[in-house]
Amino acid sequence: MFGRRKKKPPASSTIPSDGIPFLTASDLLSPHERLIKKIRNDAGCTREYFDNYYLPALERLAEMLQLRPFGHEGEYAKKGGAIQVAIKRVALTLKLRLGTLLPLKCKPEEISHRGECWTYGLFITALLRDFGGQMLGVKIIGFTKVDKAAGEWICWKHSMNEYHHYRMKKEEGITRSLSYTTTALHIRDIVPTHGIEWIYSDLELMDCMLDILTGARKIQDNPLYSIIVRATSTLRDEITFEAAMNTLEEGTQNNEPQSSTNELIDKETGEISIVSAKTDMRHTGIDTPTTITPSSGQVETLPSNDIPPKMDDPPQSIEDYPPEPEDEVTPQNFVARLKIDMQKKRITPEYAKSEGNNIKVKYPSTFRSYTDSPSELLNDLRLLGQVIEEGAVKGISSDRIIILKG
């Protein structure tokens, strides 16, 4: 009777089921605390320097990526996949670095202070590998509290508080060259200023880093590239990654601790130089981190690997990376490779184990660690007469037991 004006319901502040909240670096990195701890230990620097040099780069990368997937298909094409791949690659890269002499052909008196800088450069290179492709391949569209589209969220332009939530939009047609260019443009957005200054103090390191990050690939014996390719080849799935980490960690634990000196052999003259790990670094004028030398295996130079062929398009999944030549798996060498990996504990008994002269294998999980086409590999093994028995099929993706001739 008095015609009261109806009040509008308050705008909902809840996020729609298909919406994604913006997360801080702390929230984005918290699921990866275990690997970040390994990264800190293998970086070999004090906690203070890790927090000033390494952690800011991890945090900036995480906030810029948010929950982007890695590519559009494969093991890591899921929310948070891009961050997951970056951190796993860094963890494996620094683990491999423990047994590698960097830089190559370095004067004995320079190894100590330059080695720490090269470790940091390797960390940054592994962290930023394919970063541009992930940024361009998936756009983040911001929305208001009432779920109204408010435009693309540009990480270096907008704060996370400007939007209430977001959705992701897949972008097609991102070329390989554009992916590399974008990565190079974002180096200063991720690496802290003092980190840039440190890298800038070693021109050879900077050249090797940019050779990878810009996709130039003009340095045939780039030692950073060799390590990163080896690390990336283990990222096909969780089984392969965990097995690789366990193998590397067991190798470092079983080896005797290094003494404070190392022998450096000049390949041209045969002269042996004794290199002290306690070389004073202050004469360089660079405020380099104090090193905590982790226990590692024997220091050796990496064999130079042929650079894999260039790809026209950026990787859409981790399987798009060309394998290293020695990692090529064929039906003819599959059983032999499997036996070696079992002996070296790269594959756990849960997935493959010996029974007399035969091998009991879980299919398709174990096969996926070796090939993108497990069914094709199985068919070829049947034709070769390697398959003795096959368990019943329980479902499309369910594992079943395959018995192979040992």
Could you read off the pLDDT of 260-300 as tens digits, one per residue?
Answer: 344 444 444 434 344 443 334 334 444 555 554 444 444 33
Query: Is residue 7, in this structure, part of any structural domain at all?
Result: no
Query: Is residue 158, in this structure, part of any structural domain at all?
Result: yes
Instruction: Identify which has the larger pLDDT, 263 or 211.
Output: 211
Residue percentage of the chain with pLDDT more than 90: 37
Q: What is the pLDDT of residues 144-203, one digit of tens each?
A: 999 999 999 998 888 888 999 999 999 888 888 888 889 999 999 999 999 999 999 999
Strand order in the sheet with 138-143: 149-152, 138-143, 165-170
- What is the pLDDT, as a whole number, of residue 251? 62
Tell me which DSSP letter residue 319 carries.
G
Asked whether the predicted pLDDT for residue 85 surpasses 50, the reply is yes
Q: Can you give the CATH number for the domain in which 116 is found?
A: 1.10.3210.40
- What is the pLDDT, as a whole number, of residue 135? 92
Query: Is residue 36, in this structure, part of any structural domain at all?
Result: yes
| 126 contacts: CB under 8 Å, gap ≥ 6 | 86, 89, 90, 93, 94, 228, 231
- Name the pairing type of β-strands 352-355 and 261-265: unpaired
3-state helix, strand, coil in the chain (%, to 5): 45, 15, 45
Average pLDDT over residues 78-86: 93
Cis ω before 103 (30° cut-off from 0): yes
Give the domain-ending residue among 284, 319, 353.
Answer: 284
- What is the pLDDT, as a whole number, of residue 253? 57
| 364 contacts: CB under 8 Å, gap ≥ 6 | 374, 375, 378, 397, 399
Least confident of 84-98, 293-307, 381-395: 293-307
- Name the pairing type of β-strands 387-390 and 400-405: antiparallel
Same domain as 188, residue 72: yes
Query: Is residue 162, in this structure, part of any structural domain at all?
Result: yes
- What is the pLDDT, as a whole number, of residue 254? 55
Instruction: Identify which has the larger pLDDT, 6 or 30.
Output: 30
- What is the pLDDT, as a whole number, of residue 284? 42
Token pair 């007399």 in the structure block, residue = 356
Asked whether the predicted pLDDT for residue 18 surpasses 60, the reply is yes
Same domain as 277, residue 382: no
Count of Cβ atoms closer than 10 Å to residue 238 Cβ: 14
Residue 172's domain spans which residues? 25-284
Per-residue pLDDT band at 238 (split at 50, 70, 90)? low
Query: Is residue 193, in this structure, part of any structural domain at all?
Result: yes
As a whole number, the mean pLDDT across the chain is 78
Instruction: Identify which has the larger pLDDT, 326 or 228.
Output: 228
Q: What is the pLDDT of residues 305-343, one digit of tens each?
A: 333 334 345 555 555 544 444 457 788 888 988 888 788
- What is the pLDDT, as a whole number, of residue 7? 47
Query: Is residue 353, in this structure, part of any structural domain at all?
Result: yes
Instruction: Identify which has the larger pLDDT, 383 or 206.
Output: 206
Same domain as 367, residue 237: no
Same domain as 347, residue 276: no
3 state SS of 48? helix
